[in-house]
């Protein structure tokens, strides 16, 4: 089947399924999720066998150990995926709630009812757990999904989506509520991005290239996110003795994720005292640096791996044990640097001066702004949302960690008495 | 200046201005709006003179009277525009409100603060009042705007935006908070649509061609809207004696707007009794019809202007005194027709059967769903929102009539005590 026709069929099927899901009760949706959990357990052998094929192919194709680790499923990881479904079951279902209800002067009773978005398209990379995570979150909120996973995990994803589709059938629901694009042809991605007749939202979960592709090619609303060029500003009034731990946590605890620290901005008044101590501690943990010239005059450049920072390096999401460092004259220079280089994800200030912290919170416009905390907290689970669909760095619809609410919209319902407009 | 550089400059200036606006107090913003109102009054002669030039050019270029009426300003209309500013001043300012505040288990105090979007790009057609309306709504919510009006009103828009910019200067605020693209070259529209480095949201206020251009070319989130293929389903249990007035209101009261009725779906059990009466009344008001074959067997085809409906005619937004008519077997066939042909704007059911009305409200997924009321109510003012930025027919961020809230987003603010992630 040619791509266009294939995608059209997927879209049409997804839209039809979405109508069947839209008015399911929360209890029906919980039963469905329980059934998915059960079916994943029952079919764990088939899932692990399929995944072993993906892993073998990945080894053959010379993928790095780190990449293979990302696509690997084992008994423990599969149990973790299944356990996460139980957590989702226990979350409150936002669908059906009504707000802003009122009787208007024109005689209409008006309310806003929360409803599913409809059909969500998700484009992601190697991790097969995303297949289950996203399908479960979408179904919990009454949405149909079209999934496009990474080519390295196609076999795993096919088995996982088949198991979920079987659960849908067992529950008397349309299996096309969850559909996996069964080919890794890249044209199918661009085709999906323009399927606006059927798809209501696109979530790209991947790197900068995928995000830009989606922003530029999609005719469907896209939730950009997951790219974090994160800053921490160390103010002159910070408690230096407690600051190193937070900075190290932000950079080192998990350097490969989007909320890890990329650039440290430090007030000139404390740079001479603090930077040599910090560089020593961080270097011992394997961190290398891209610094301004001023920094180089303050630390022993022979003792550490130090590169010269550029505008480009300051606009890099490191995803590794690399840290940009810049000495600034004052808080406003730090804010100006953030405005210029941030991706709008997470920024932090460390300071005991409440005026400085208020100024920073008011002036910095990113999804998450921290006072005296690590940037590493930007996460649905840490924010108490119970789930995370994505971390949005754009400003419409949802910002920062997106949970179940972000998979819904609302409709206006108005009831009159054969009321005409005057 | 080449287009790219010109737009880059506008974008950079708008972003810089947006930071100055973001933390203005509500009182400062009210003072600004009062000053704009005052300056528009003081400069009314210059505004009307500029508009007269646009009108003269429009006549010379052979524009229709209807189009000229859309771009015309006179003393009364200008007074109306100025009076609307006072209404906006009196609306509540959503910026700065905080919600979901809590102390998390990880020790962070977390809150969501409502903040301006930043920079909003608006592309619109002939009406010069949009220049003032949108600038005022954007400034009320602390946003900068880049305006691209219709070529027929460039002279009017230049004077209007100059007056607003003068008011900004008088209030000690950056005049670049409001910028008008000063050329009617179409390349500037596509250039604006990809200015994602600076612009946070695009609102196209215009017809289908403009909406599609924005959906396809924009790399910035777009609020599609204002296209209404609206349906009314007349159920077999409707009070027929009261239904005609509502149907006529929906079609005739103002046929050129997006919430006007396009297609009447009528239950077969009442079609034979009702349609002849309705056609007679509507025809007398100048309405012509595109109908299904069944309808033609029920009315005097010689007495009315009747065309044969097609899939295409059922997918047409008439914007005129034309009505699609289809006889359906039951409510589900009506819902199915709506799902296939609706633009997701406004749909209505007329029925005294509460089961039918609940079913319709649950199953129809459009921005506004009415029971026993005209579709003509889908409007920010009728919904009590006090303002209308646009009527969104997409599902993300805002749906249906968009008011001040839709010009804002939120940021997460988290305060710790030198808190690292465990």
Same structural domain for residues B372 and B400? no
Q: What percent of chain A has pLDDT over 70?
A: 100
**Structure letter (DSSP) for residue A94:** -
Of A108, A246, A377, nearest to B377 by CB-CB distance is A108
Same structural domain for residues B219 and B250? no
CB A245 within 8 A of CB A261: no
Distance between CA atoms of residues B394 and A229, nearest Å = 30
H-helix or E-strand containing A110?
strand A109-116
CA distances from A273 to A84, A219, B71 (A): 46, 52, 66
CB B213 within 8 A of CB B331: no
Tokens 């399908």 — which residue?
A: A135
Q: Is residue A388 part of a domain?
A: no
Confidence category of residue B227, pLDDT binned at 50, 70, 90: very high
Which tokens sit at B105?
């288990």
**List of E strands, B168-253:** 178-180, 201-205, 230-234
Instruction: Indicate the average pLDDT of chain A.
Output: 96
Residue B2 pLDDT: 76
Same structural domain for residues B132 and B34? yes
In the three-class reduction of DSSP (H, G, I as helix; E, B as strand; rest coil), residue B328 is classed as: strand
CB B325 within 8 A of CB B309: yes
Residues B363-399: b if buried by 16+ CB within 10 A, e if exposed = bbbbbbbbbbbbbbbbbbebbebebbbbbbbbbbbbb
For residue range B40-71, list pLDDT tens digits in order: 999 999 999 999 999 999 999 999 998 899 89
Sign (positive or negative) of CA dihedral A140, A144, A150, A151: positive
Q: What domain range is A289 assigned to?
A: 230-377
Please state the rounded mean pLDDT for residues A143-150.
Answer: 96
Q: Does B104 touch chain A (CB under 8 A)?
A: yes
CB A359 within 8 A of CB A347: no
Confidence category of residue B22, pLDDT binned at 50, 70, 90: very high
Residue A16 has pLDDT above 70, yes or no: yes
For residue range B343-397, list pLDDT tens digits in order: 999 999 999 999 999 999 999 999 999 999 999 999 999 999 988 999 999 999 9
Confidence category of residue A247, pLDDT binned at 50, 70, 90: very high
With a CB-CB cutoff of 8 Å, which residues 36-55 of chain A face chain B? none
Same structural domain for residues A196 and A295? no
Same structural domain for residues B94 and B210? yes
CB B369 within 8 A of CB B347: yes
Residue B1 pLDDT: 61
Q: Does A246 touch chain B (CB under 8 A)?
A: yes
H-helix or E-strand containing A109?
strand A109-116
For residue range B269-322, list pLDDT tens digits in order: 999 999 999 999 999 999 999 999 999 999 999 999 999 999 999 999 999 999
Describe the crossing of helices A240-252 and A268-284 by its angle, rounded to 10 degrees. Answer: 50
CA distances from B270 to A170, B242, B243, B293, B357 (A): 41, 14, 12, 16, 17
Q: Is residue B159 part of a domain?
A: yes
Q: Does B60 touch chain A (CB under 8 A)?
A: no
H-helix or E-strand containing A363?
helix A354-363
Instruction: Indicate the average pLDDT of chain B.
Output: 96
Distance between CA atoms of residues B206 and B188, nearest Å = 16
Q: Is residue B387 part of a domain?
A: no
Residues A86-110: b if buried by 16+ CB within 10 A, e if exposed = eebbeeebbbbeeeeeeeeebebeb
Distance between CA atoms of residues B255 and B260, nearest Å = 5
- The residue among A113, A243, A356, A373 with the most chain B CBs within 10 A of its CB, best to mutate, is A373
Residue B236 has pLDDT above 70, yes or no: yes
Q: Does B352 touch chain A (CB under 8 A)?
A: no
Which position has the higher pLDDT, B2 or B334? B334
Residue A127 pLDDT: 87
Distance between CA atoms of residues A15 and B215, nearest Å = 20
- The residue among B234, B259, B396 with the most chain A CBs within 10 A of its CB, best to mutate, is B396
Distance between CA atoms of residues A372 and B108, nearest Å = 9
ipTM score here? 0.95
For residue range B353-367, list pLDDT tens digits in order: 999 999 999 999 999
In the three-class reduction of DSSP (H, G, I as helix; E, B as strand; rest coil), residue B291 is classed as: strand
Residue A1 pLDDT: 60
Q: Is residue A389 part of a domain?
A: no
Confidence category of residue A3, pLDDT binned at 50, 70, 90: confident
Please indicate whether, in this complex, the C-beta atoms of B22 and A417 are within 8 angstroms of each other. Answer: no
Of A219, A242, A367, nearest to B216 by CB-CB distance is A219
DSSP3 helix / strand / coil % (chain A, rounded to 5): 45, 20, 30
The count of structural domains within chain A is 2
Same structural domain for residues B45 and B175? yes
Among A213-222, B49-58, B124-133, B261-270, name the one with the lowest average pLDDT. Answer: B124-133
CB B326 within 8 A of CB B263: yes
Q: Is residue A161 part of a domain?
A: yes
Confidence category of residue A184, pLDDT binned at 50, 70, 90: confident
In the three-class reduction of DSSP (H, G, I as helix; E, B as strand; rest coil), residue A339 is classed as: helix
CB B253 within 8 A of CB B373: no
Please indicate whether, in this complex, the C-beta atoms of B421 and A110 are within 8 angstroms of each other. Answer: no
Which position has the higher pLDDT, B226 or A213? A213
Q: Is residue A253 part of a domain?
A: yes
Please indicate whether, in this complex, the C-beta atoms of B362 and A105 are within 8 angstroms of each other. Answer: no
H-helix or E-strand containing A414?
strand A408-419
- Residue A81's CB: how many other CB atoms inside 10 A? 21
A-chain residue closest to B253, CA distance: A421
Of A201, A378, A418, nearest to B350 by CB-CB distance is A418
Same structural domain for residues B24 and B125? yes
Which tokens sit at A338?
């953030």
Residue A99 has pLDDT above 90, yes or no: yes
With a CB-CB cutoff of 8 Å, which residues 283-342 of chain A face chain B? 339
DSSP string, A235-283: -TTS-HHHHHHHHHHHHHSSTTSTTSEEEEEEEHHHHHHHHHHHHHHHH
Please indicate whether, in this complex, the C-beta atoms of A365 and B194 are within 8 angstroms of each other. Answer: no
**List of E strands, B230-339:** 230-234, 261-267, 288-291, 306-308, 322-328
Q: Is residue A420 part of a domain?
A: no
Same structural domain for residues B219 and B247? no
Q: What is the CATH number of the domain that holds A321?
A: 3.40.309.10
Provide the shortest C-alpha distance from residue B239 to chain A (in Å): 9
Q: Is residue B384 part of a domain?
A: no
* Burial class of residue B284 in the structure, from the number of CB atoms within 10 Å of its CB (0-12 exposed, 13-18 middle, 19+ buried): exposed
| Secondary structure (H, E, C), A385-408 | CCCCCEEECCCCCCCEEECHHHHE
CA distances from B210 to A149, B64, B145, B188, B189 (A): 33, 21, 19, 13, 10
Contacts A239 to B, Cβ<8 Å: 418
Bridge pairing between strands A390-392 and A400-402: antiparallel
Of B363, B367, B372, nearest to A412 by CB-CB distance is B367
Which tokens sit at B59?
């006549």
Same structural domain for residues A116 and A93? yes
Same structural domain for residues B238 and B350? yes
In the three-class reduction of DSSP (H, G, I as helix; E, B as strand; rest coil), residue B127 is classed as: coil
Q: Angle at Cα A212 formed by Cα B10 and Cα A64, nearest 5°?
A: 145
Q: What is the CATH number of the domain that holds A53?
A: 3.40.605.10
Same structural domain for residues A287 and A155? no
Same structural domain for residues A209 and A244? no
Q: Does B78 touch chain A (CB under 8 A)?
A: no
Please state the rounded mean pLDDT for residues B157-181.
Answer: 98
Sign (positive or negative) of CA dihedral A161, A163, A167, A168: positive
Residue B385 pLDDT: 92
Of B365, B367, B382, nearest to A22 by CB-CB distance is B365
């Amino acid at each position: 089947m040619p791509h266009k026709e294939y995608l059209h069929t997927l879209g049409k099927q997804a839209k039809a399924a979405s109508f069947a899901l839209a008015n399911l009760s929360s209890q029906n949706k919980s039963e469905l999720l329980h059934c998915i959990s059960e079916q994943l357990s029952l079919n764990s052998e088939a899932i692990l066998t399929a995944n072993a094929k993906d892993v073998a192919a990945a080894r053959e194709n010379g993928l790095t150990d780190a990449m293979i680790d990302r696509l690997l499923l084992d008994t423990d990881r599969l149990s973790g995926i299944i356990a996460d479904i139980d957590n989702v079951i226990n979350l409150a279902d936002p669908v059906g709630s009504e707000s802003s209800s009122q009787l208007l002067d024109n005689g209409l009773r008006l309310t806003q009812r929360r409803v599913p978005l409809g059909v969500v398209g998700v484009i992601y990379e190697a991790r097969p757990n995303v297949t289950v995570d996203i399908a479960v979150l979408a179904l919990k909120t009454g949405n149909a999904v079209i999934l496009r996973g990474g080519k390295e995990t196609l076999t795993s994803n096919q088995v996982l989506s088949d198991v979920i589709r079987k659960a849908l059938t067992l529950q008397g629901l349309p299996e096309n509520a969850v559909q996996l694009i069964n080919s890794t042809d890249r044209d199918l991605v661009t085709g999906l991005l323009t399927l606006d007749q059927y798809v209501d939202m696109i979530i790209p979960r991947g790197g900068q290239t995928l995000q830009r592709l989606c922003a530029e090619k999609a005719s469907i609303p896209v939730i950009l996110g997951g790219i974090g060029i994160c800053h921490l500003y160390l103010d002159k009034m910070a408690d230096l003795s407690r600051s190193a731990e937070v900075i190290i946590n932000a950079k080192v605890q998990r350097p490969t994720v989007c909320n890890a620290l990329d650039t440290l901005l430090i007030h000139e008044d404390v740079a001479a005292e603090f930077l040599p101590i910090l560089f020593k501690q961080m270097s011992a943990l394997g961190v290398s640096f891209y610094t301004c010239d001023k920094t180089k005059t303050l630390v022993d450049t022979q003792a550490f791996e130090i590169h010269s920072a550029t505008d480009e390096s300051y606009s890099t999401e490191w995803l590794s044990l690399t840290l940009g460092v810049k000495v600034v004259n004052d808080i406003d220079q730090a804010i100006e640097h953030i405005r210029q280089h941030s991706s709008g994800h997470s920024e932090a200030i460390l300071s005991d001066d409440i005026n400085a912290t208020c100024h920073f919170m008011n002036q910095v416009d990113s999804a998450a702004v921290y006072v005296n905390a690590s940037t590493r907290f930007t996460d649905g689970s840490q924010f108490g949302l119970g789930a995370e669909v994505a971390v949005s760095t754009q400003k419409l619809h949802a910002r920062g960690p997106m949970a179940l609410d972000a998979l819904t919209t609302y409709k206006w319902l108005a009831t009159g008495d054969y009321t005409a407009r005057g």
